[in-house]
A and B are shown apart, each in its own frame.
Chain A
Amino acid sequence: MIKLTIDGKTIEVQEGTTVLEAAEAAGLFVPTLCHHPKLTPYGGCRLCMVDVEGSRTLQPSCTLPAAEGMVVNTHTEKVLNARKFVLTLIFSERNHFCMYCPVADGDCELQNRAYDEHMTHWELQPNWQPFEVDASHPFIILDNNRCILCRRCSRACSELVGNHTLGFEERGANSLLVADYNVPLGESSCISCGVCVQICPTGALIDRQSAYQGKETEVDHHPGVCVECSVGCQRNVLTRDNRLVRIEGEWEDNLFHGLLCDQGRFIPLEDDRPRLLTPLVRKDGNLKAATWDEALKAIADGFKDAKGLAALASTRLPVEDLALFKSIFSDELQAELVTSMEEGYATASLARMADKLGKPFEANLDALKETDLVLSLELDLVDEHQVAGFFVKRQLVQGTKLIVADSKNNRLAENTKTTLSLNAGDESNFLVGLLDAVENETGAPELIDVAKMLKASKKPCIVYGKTFAANADEIALETLLKLAEALNVALIGVKENANSMAAAQLGLEKPFKPNGQKSAYILLGDENPSQKITKTLEEIPFVVVQAAYSSQITGNADVVLPVTMWAEQDGTYLSMDGRLQKATKALNAPEGILTSQEALLKVAEALSIKPDLDWKSSLMARVPTVEFQES
């Protein structure tokens, strides 16, 4: 431990702590601009200058390591003058007229820092050099005129996301934030994760969807888990007057610290599917608006007449809904076919392996954050589960090795020279070969090379996704487990939708192949149904659909119940690595619309069923592939 004095306060900190961190830990405020707690200290803006006794000049506290006996002052006249001077120089460089900017008056760190220093005006006026605004990106606007060259965006793009799209060209006052080799952002390698927008201290990077829609103080915050895939990032949904304004990553989350992908941040705000606002019942061949009572009666009558029942649920729905669905249709109504829209292809084989072992065998995502070797098996983390991909990509510059083994074209493979092609459906042979190469150093030379890399690794990870899970037979999985045991490999199974794993825990993982069933209940929620399922349902005479949006499936249905979409409901989600997390209601649903859970309870009542409401014990009834972590 190190003892130092800041503003007369004696503070004890760990070795390696910066003076800024020490001051903040002691509750002292030192203004910063280029610094961000999730990024490596940079020392670019010089706003955090402090007076260190015995030091010839002021020192930037963000990069200065605390040292034993150091005496620091953050409020001397010299420091205050330097702060004002630094701000004056920054304002003089570009167009920082607040009245032209959407983040002014609350959301701009530059303006806020000037207010802190009681700056009523600029001693130096701007130099009036205009820069082009880049509005080529579908979600992001890049305005170099408002840039203060703090490089938080480009550092986040590299350090947090590993995408290395943003960078700077030219020098000094002519420095320009550019994408790739100065191409329009919309045509660049940008993957629209949006962390640059969230981390920008000024209005240099803004998003089209929320600019001018409401400042931080004018919006309501709804923290909760993202429901777009099984990674389960923590995010903040910002609303104003019952309208979605913006989605931000949660900086404070220990696992993801602020990261989201385009699916979690921007795409949900683009949803313009037509909403269902009233129950519908088919009368004389046509779907007609009906009351809830009429619709529920139609369901009860329909199920009485049409023998044989199939039931299908979306894995985007909360655990509570899925457990209730299972209780009603599987346990109470004893329907012949009860499954999820995912049909278990991302989970079933893995869940069976956990059943057989009687214990979990997968690791959680933390393992992927600190690894020196990643073997990606039939999984493209650039296309899906992107944030898990960020964990991998950002470590590559530190020497983490990446091996991509796939049967298809895989964009993650662009990041490595070590690729292996494997034949789909032949996973067991591939893994048996790899295990052989590890144990006996025999086999194909590329397998022997990979085996050597695996053996040399201290913390190897193997990640696999739905294609692997769907194709892998028992031999493949057993070989994978042997490999993991032999080399102490962390196995990370990326699932599919936000509640893939919950559906597997509840046994909702059979293939959806109706076999003469005369009625079906589809718990669709806000999922966009696949063509295959839409087509299969056409064979069934009586179909009930619970959905938020109008689609071909609701158009063909006999009874439609209108329900909430993701932002209008609370619920629990079980991530790919067993984290049980809450999603929070952010919007009030339109009048007359129920949550999927409320609608299911009404249906249960209409069918005189008393369902089991204890979702947690249903979820825990089966050995999971990865241990649960409750937050």
Chain B
Amino acid sequence: MTKPKVASDWMCGCAGCHMSLLDIDERILQVVNLVDLRATPITDLKEPDKDGVTVGILEGGINNTHSEKVAKRMRDRCKILVALGDCAVFGGVPAMRNFVGIEASLQRAYVDAESNDSEAKIPRNPELAEMTRVRAVHEVVPVDIHIPGCPPDADIIFYALAELAEGRIPDIKGDKLHWH
């Protein structure tokens, strides 16, 4: 049996979910034995294989046109899409800005912040991705498995990967279910 290919990517998150993945410590060797770890932010490959992977994992919510592309690309190239962590599942901490509005958030961060000088201004470069409301991944592309947590525990990530490697759908409930 060939090992299932797994790719991951991150969008509007803090990288904490990938750090939690690394927190599985020496079990990372078991993961490498179980799955073929392809493009991830912590490996050299940067894009999921064009010919597809079995499992795609996304960390972070979708906050601009760039992360929309990342999410759609992963969805196109994977069979099973996993939303990993509270930002991917709900929008998470970055979604706080939805209650305030994009312009007000930019103004606060780039102009009004106490650390800014008098010449501070909001960057408006056409090459920058366009900001959107922060969305959960499932608002943009269909998601097969939600693993909430801020971040999800290393044990839960290991459990999910091990189940997926065995061809099973992980059942996230009981002590595996945490929303923050």
Binding site for B on A (CB under 8 A): 95, 97-100, 104-105, 111, 114-115, 118, 120-122, 125-126, 128-130, 145
Known: A99-B92, A104-B180, A120-B148. A128 touches B136 (CB 8 A): no
* Interface residue B173 (Cβ < 8 Å from any Cβ of A): yes
Known: A97-B92, A104-B180. A121 touches B148 (CB 8 A): yes
B residues 81-105 touching A (CB-CB < 8 Å): 83, 86, 89-93, 95-96, 98-100
B residues 25-83 touching A (CB-CB < 8 Å): 83
Contact B93 A121 (CB under 8 A): no
Contact A120 B89 (CB under 8 A): yes
Interface SS majority for chain B: mixed
- B81 CB → nearest A CB, Å: 13
* Interface residue B139 (Cβ < 8 Å from any Cβ of A): yes
A98 to B95, CA, bound (A): 12
Q: Cβ of B89: which chain A residues have Cβ within 8 Å of it?
A: 120-121
- A471 CB → nearest B CB, Å: 59
The residue on B at minimum CB distance from A130 is B99
The residue on A at minimum CB distance from B177 is A115
Contact A104 B99 (CB under 8 A): no
The 9 A-B residue pairs whose C-beta atoms are closest, nearest first, are: A120-B146, A99-B180, A121-B146, A118-B173, A130-B99, A98-B179, A128-B98, A98-B180, A121-B89
A120 to B145, CA, bound (A): 9
The residue on A at minimum CB distance from B133 is A128
In the complex, which of the residues A105, A111, A122 contacts B90, with contact meaning CB atoms closer than 8 Å? A122
The residue on B at minimum CB distance from A117 is B173
Contact A100 B178 (CB under 8 A): no
- A130 CB → nearest B CB, Å: 4
Contact B92 A125 (CB under 8 A): no
Known: A104-B179, A105-B178, A115-B177. A99 touches B98 (CB 8 A): no
Q: Cβ of A99: which chain B residues have Cβ within 8 Å of it?
A: 86, 92-93, 150, 179-180
* Extra inter-chain contacts (10) besides given A97-B91, A99-B179, A100-B93, CB under 8 Å: A97-B90, A97-B96, A98-B86, A98-B179, A99-B86, A99-B150, A120-B89, A125-B136, A126-B98, A128-B99
A145 to B96, CA, bound (A): 12
Q: Cβ of B136: which chain A residues have Cβ within 8 Å of it?
A: 121-122, 125
- B13 CB → nearest A CB, Å: 13
A125 to B137, CA, bound (A): 11
- A294 CB → nearest B CB, Å: 56
Q: Cβ of B148: which chain A residues have Cβ within 8 Å of it?
A: 120-121
* Interface residue B18 (Cβ < 8 Å from any Cβ of A): no
Q: Cβ of B177: which chain A residues have Cβ within 8 Å of it?
A: 115, 118, 120
Q: Cβ of B172: which chain A residues have Cβ within 8 Å of it?
A: 118, 120
Q: Cβ of B145: which chain A residues have Cβ within 8 Å of it?
A: 120
* Interface residue B5 (Cβ < 8 Å from any Cβ of A): no
A-B contact pairs, 24 of them (CB 8 A): A95-B99, A97-B90, A97-B91, A97-B93, A97-B95, A98-B86, A99-B86, A99-B93, A99-B180, A100-B93, A104-B179, A114-B179, A118-B173, A120-B146, A120-B147, A120-B173, A121-B90, A121-B143, A121-B146, A122-B136, A125-B91, A125-B139, A128-B99, A129-B99
Q: Cβ of A126: which chain B residues have Cβ within 8 Å of it?
A: 98
B residues 119-138 touching A (CB-CB < 8 Å): 133, 135-136, 138
The residue on A at minimum CB distance from B178 is A105
The residue on B at minimum CB distance from A128 is B98
A129 to B98, CA, bound (A): 9
Max chain B Cβ within 10 angstroms of own Cβ: one of A114, A121, A122, A145? A121
- A119 CB → nearest B CB, Å: 8
Q: Cβ of A114: which chain B residues have Cβ within 8 Å of it?
A: 179
Q: Cβ of A118: which chain B residues have Cβ within 8 Å of it?
A: 172-173, 177
A126 to B180, CA, bound (A): 17
Q: Cβ of A105: which chain B residues have Cβ within 8 Å of it?
A: 178-180
A535 to B89, CA, bound (A): 67
Q: Cβ of B92: which chain A residues have Cβ within 8 Å of it?
A: 97, 99
A99 to B91, CA, bound (A): 11
The residue on B at minimum CB distance from A101 is B180
Q: Cβ of A122: which chain B residues have Cβ within 8 Å of it?
A: 90, 136
A122 to B150, CA, bound (A): 16
- A133 CB → nearest B CB, Å: 11
Max chain A Cβ within 10 angstroms of own Cβ: one of B98, B145, B179? B179
- A103 CB → nearest B CB, Å: 11
